[in-house]
Copies of this chain bind each other. A is one copy, B any other.
Amino acid sequence: MTDSAYAWFEREQRERGIDMTQVKARLNALKIETPSWGYADQGTRFQTFKKAGAARTVQEKLEDAAMVHRLTGACPNVAIHIPWDHTEDYGKLAADAKSLGIGIGAVNPNLFQEHDYMLGSVTHHEPEVRRRAVEHLLDCVDIARATGSDALSLWFADGTNYPGQGDIRQRKAWMEESLREMYRALDPGMRMLIEYKFFEPAFYHTDLADWGMAYNLALKLGPQAEVLVDTGHHPQGTNIEHIVAYLLDEGRLGGFHFNARKYADDDLIVGSANPYELFLIFSQIVLAENDSANPLVQRTAGRIAYMIDQSHNIEAKVPAMIRSVMNVQTQYAKALLINWNALAEAQQAGDVLEAEAAVRDAFEQNVTPLLHAVREEAGLPADPMRAFKTSGYAERIVSARSSAVNAR
């Protein structure tokens, strides 16, 4: 059935002017990093509901991440969070991951849980606290080196809750100074991905509040610094794909933290709240990937770090991650089905309705047969969710992880 469904699909796309060989190759090349912390219990400020089977140790998180990769073939790396995933021997951690068929992805420093950091970390008014924070950043560079990771993913909760609480420009200077020291410690092949956030947990001002602040900082630091776009970190009404296009154009789009939200930074499953938005983000990426006339843009698009960063407060964690990966594949697949010639023609003619239709028409395609075919050709289960259900994995981890080991 899948075969014929795909055959039908391919015929339709050929009629729409789409080269399916290229589409399938690019779908195959899409890799999405899953976060170790997405396999552990998380919650809202009101409650963290404990889930049977949730990973409690870094080893269990690796196992879950490996399971997601086994079923999807798309998630060869797992991001780690320090100190949540702290271990005495990071070389061993990398080896453990490797033995499970995966690798260590971005290293995420954590500078928001120690009591010292209550009023800031790299922007704290006390030099001792800033020093401690910078040392943690430097440690994370070492951890990246030890685990073979080439990316440091930086999110700072730093900010203030009230007018007057901090000296905004002074904190800006401290942020720059701190990151400059970290930047100097990077190995040549390493990338520093700078994340920004509109609000929370700082409620009055956040030191890195928007893409402009992250971008300007990256500009000052140097070419290994890039901007990380978390899809949930924008004010309502923001055109995220515009920001994505802008950063691609400047050669500074480092990667994504994918998730979805209706109002604030809800950290829901990517693609579940507004799938069209995710599709439009990928439309800009596909267009940049195609832009052979602009090597900077094309190269930038080609090395985007796609990462998931969600909070599965009420969902079963492993299948929530599989669903997330599938949602990303779905919208990337749809973006690959845009007929760019038709679009450019309509734009050139100033035909607003046709141009809009050229984009939306791709979105309205049902790409399920395509994704099934691509997976099966790669020796993967056509439907990873169904494969997970029948795998017995969920039952196994529930029974295996029944003790009270605590982990985040």
Query: Which A positions have Cβ atoms within 8 angstroms of B?
Result: 5, 8, 12, 42-47, 49-50, 112-113, 115, 118-119, 125-126, 157, 161-169, 172-173, 198-201, 203-205, 209-213, 215-216, 234-239, 241-242, 245-246, 248-250, 261-264, 266, 268-269, 272-277, 280, 283-284, 287-288, 291, 297, 311, 313-316, 319-320, 323, 330, 343-344, 346-348, 350, 352-353, 355-360, 363-368, 385
A363–B360 Cα distance when bound, in Å, is 14
A296–B8 Cα distance when bound, in Å, is 44
Contacts of A248 in B (CB 8 A): 169
Q: Is the CB of A249 within 8 A of B169?
A: yes
When A276-B275, A366-B366 are in contact, do A242 and B168 touch as well, CB less than 8 Å? yes
Within the complex, which residue of B42, B45, B275, B357 is in contact with A44, where a contact is CB–CB below 8 Å? B45
Given contacts A49-B118, A126-B350, 19 further A-B contacts (CB under 8 A): A46-B112, A125-B347, A161-B268, A162-B355, A163-B241, A163-B356, A164-B343, A164-B355, A166-B355, A169-B288, A199-B262, A200-B264, A203-B262, A204-B239, A210-B210, A212-B216, A236-B237, A269-B356, A323-B357
Contacts of A210 in B (CB 8 A): 210, 212
Within the complex, which residue of B8, B209, B276, B355 is in contact with A274, where a contact is CB–CB below 8 Å? B276
When A45-B43, A269-B162 are in contact, do A242 and B352 touch as well, CB less than 8 Å? no
Q: Is the CB of B200 within 8 A of A352?
A: no
Contacts of A215 in B (CB 8 A): 212, 216
A344–B213 Cα distance when bound, in Å, is 24
A172–B172 Cα distance when bound, in Å, is 28
Contacts of A173 in B (CB 8 A): 249
A197–B210 Cα distance when bound, in Å, is 15
**Chain A to chain B contacts (Cβ below 8 Å), 14 pairs:** A46-B112, A126-B350, A161-B266, A161-B352, A165-B347, A165-B355, A167-B347, A168-B246, A169-B291, A209-B239, A210-B212, A235-B237, A320-B353, A330-B364
Contacts of A239 in B (CB 8 A): 204-205, 209, 262
Within the complex, which residue of B8, B163, B212, B241 is in contact with A211, where a contact is CB–CB below 8 Å? B212
Contacts of A346 in B (CB 8 A): 164
Within the complex, which residue of B112, B198, B316, B352 is in contact with A263, where a contact is CB–CB below 8 Å? B198
Q: Is the CB of A356 within 8 A of B165?
A: yes
Contacts of A199 in B (CB 8 A): 237, 262-264, 266
Contacts of A364 in B (CB 8 A): 330, 366-368
When A119-B350, A263-B199, A315-B353 are in contact, do A275 and B363 touch as well, CB less than 8 Å? yes
Contacts of A172 in B (CB 8 A): 245-246, 249
Q: Is the CB of A125 within 8 A of B297?
A: no
Contacts of A316 in B (CB 8 A): 353
When A44-B45, A235-B235, A274-B276 are in contact, do A360 and B163 touch as well, CB less than 8 Å? yes
A298–B257 Cα distance when bound, in Å, is 38
Within the complex, which residue of B47, B245, B323 is in contact with A168, where a contact is CB–CB below 8 Å? B245
Q: Is the CB of B164 within 8 A of A44?
A: no
Most chain B CB within a 10 A radius of its CB, from A5, A165, A209, A264: A165
A125–B345 Cα distance when bound, in Å, is 11
Contacts of A113 in B (CB 8 A): 46-47
Within the complex, which residue of B164, B276, B358 is in contact with A359, where a contact is CB–CB below 8 Å? B164
A49–B272 Cα distance when bound, in Å, is 33
A184–B276 Cα distance when bound, in Å, is 41
Within the complex, which residue of B12, B213, B262, B366 is in contact with A237, where a contact is CB–CB below 8 Å? B262
Q: Is the CB of A314 within 8 A of B274?
A: no
A118–B166 Cα distance when bound, in Å, is 38
When A49-B118, A314-B118, A366-B364 are in contact, do A169 and B201 touch as well, CB less than 8 Å? no
Contacts of A126 in B (CB 8 A): 350
A283–B169 Cα distance when bound, in Å, is 12
